[in-house]
Amino acid sequence: MQSLTLDSDNRAAIGAAIQGDSLIVACLCAAWCGTCSSYRATFEELATRHPDKTFVWIDIEDQADVVGDLDVDNFPTLLVQRGDTVAFFGTMLPDGLVADRLVQAQAAATPDELAHLAASSEERRAWQRDCNLRVLLEV
**104-116, pLDDT tens digit by residue?**
999 999 999 999 9
Q: In terms of C-beta density within 10 A (0-12 exposed, 13-18 middle, 19 or more buried), how is residue 3 classed?
A: buried
Count: domains in the chain: 1
Query: In the chain, pLDDT over 90 holds for what percent of residues?
Result: 91
**1-46, pLDDT tens digit by residue?**
679 999 989 999 999 999 988 999 999 999 999 999 999 999 999 9
User: What is the domain-level CATH number for residue 88?
Assistant: 3.40.30.10
Distance set, CA 75 to CA 69, 78, 85, 98 (Å): 16, 9, 22, 14
The residue range of the domain holding 61 is 4-136
Instruction: State the average pLDDT for the chain.
Output: 94
Model confidence pTM above 0.85: yes
Q: What is the pLDDT of residue 64?
A: 93
- Using the CB atoms, write b or e for 20-38: b if 16+ within 10 Å: eeebbbbbbbbeebeebee
